Amino acid sequence: MIKATDLTKFYHVSEVKQGRFATLRSFVSGKGRKVPAVSDMSFEIPRGGFVGYIGPNGAGKSTTIKMLTGILHPDGGTVEVAGLSPQKQRKEVARKIGVVFGQRTQLWWDLPTRDSFELLAAMYKVGQQEYDKAMEVYGELLGLHEFLDTPVRKLSLGQRMRADLCAALLHDPDVVFLDEPTIGLDVTAKNRIRSFLKDLNEREQKTILLTTHDMDDIEQLCKQIIIINHGQKVYDGTLESLREMYPLPSVLEVEYHGAVEELLLPNGAQFDPSRGVARISFDKRKTKPLELMERMGQCGEVRDIRVQTPKIEDVISEMYERPQVQLV
């Protein structure tokens, strides 16, 4: 559904001159150098894929998305979205894709939310029946009815994001690009958006490319992740495989009620008597959590058991700290 081959983009950076009017003179002279923002990026996303496109600030994520959506022309390589070229068939591609930028809205600030939807539907030439159906389905799933007559500028961030999602889906696109759709939202609003996106992908088979710095979005939603750093792809695969390549310990915490036979605790377990909690790090590939739980369970009366798997942030930092491992 999405295919990028050797995608490359350079930005022109002006040479900084010294002295009076330096910025103006740099601008006028046109002198500068080409800096790569994305280099030889290749990946494929199948129909119905849900991909997390992640990387540190300035890694090249937005630049890639701008090339995939036809906003920017690549300096090298090719892009195909739903079998079309976003550069050569921009209008056709616009009908096939929906885009949500968490930091910006495509809705009209002063108009009631409903009017924005009607304008967008007219722009995309969405038929009345198709529009009514989209409003019925998405209006219900996203809970839009309570604020359809409210001007966009008066919506809360969570409401605005839900409205933006609906706006991006009115013309029934096959592919949805989401750039930080949960940014700034509270936990409840994030969960609402996430369950909507999960459903959209599973039930309607929409292909979704999600850019986010929120690793919970990635863990809860994405079947595939692509990691970009300094404009280059450093990983493309599942989260599970990444965890296997960069194994970090899981942690088992057992909270006891009353006395504890500390001597029976397995080697490496640390007991905090003030909390009545024993904690042990273990490698899931070597030790079965259930066996460990049973052993720890024999040391006292168990009140609660918690297993923490390594956070994806930690796995990714581990990956950056061990660059000698070539992942792709």
Q: Which residues have CB under 8 Å from 86's CB, separation 6+?
A: 67, 68, 69, 70, 79, 93
* Chain residues that interact with ligand ATP, rule: CB under 6 A: 11, 13, 37, 55, 57-63
Q: What minimum distance in Å lies between the beta carbon of 55 and ligand ATP?
A: 5
Give the nearer residue to ligand ATP in terms of CB position, either 212 or 250: 212
Give the nearer residue to ligand ATP in terms of CB position, either 55 or 158: 55
Output 119-125 pairs: Cβ under 8 A, ≥24 positions apart: 120/167, 120/170, 120/171, 121/170, 121/171, 124/94, 124/95, 124/170, 124/171
Q: What minimum distance in Å lies between the beta carbon of 228 and ligand ATP?
A: 7
Give the nearer residue to ligand ATP in terms of CB position, either 135 or 176: 176
Give the nearer residue to ligand ATP in terms of CB position, either 57 or 274: 57
Give me 150's structure tokens. Answer: 């409210």
Give the nearer residue to ligand ATP in terms of CB position, either 13 or 325: 13
Is there a contact between 10 and 161 (Cβ–Cβ < 8 Å)? no
Give the nearer residue to ligand ATP in terms of CB position, either 54 or 252: 54
Instruction: Give dist(CA 283, CA 103) in Å, integer.
Output: 40
Q: What minimum distance in Å lies between the beta carbon of 191 and ligand ATP?
A: 23
Give me 235's structure tokens. Answer: 């990983």
Give the nearer residue to ligand ATP in terms of CB position, either 59 or 126: 59
Q: What minimum distance in Å lies between the beta carbon of 56 and ligand ATP?
A: 7
Give the nearer residue to ligand ATP in terms of CB position, either 10 or 271: 10
Q: What minimum distance in Å lies between the beta carbon of 33 and ligand ATP?
A: 11
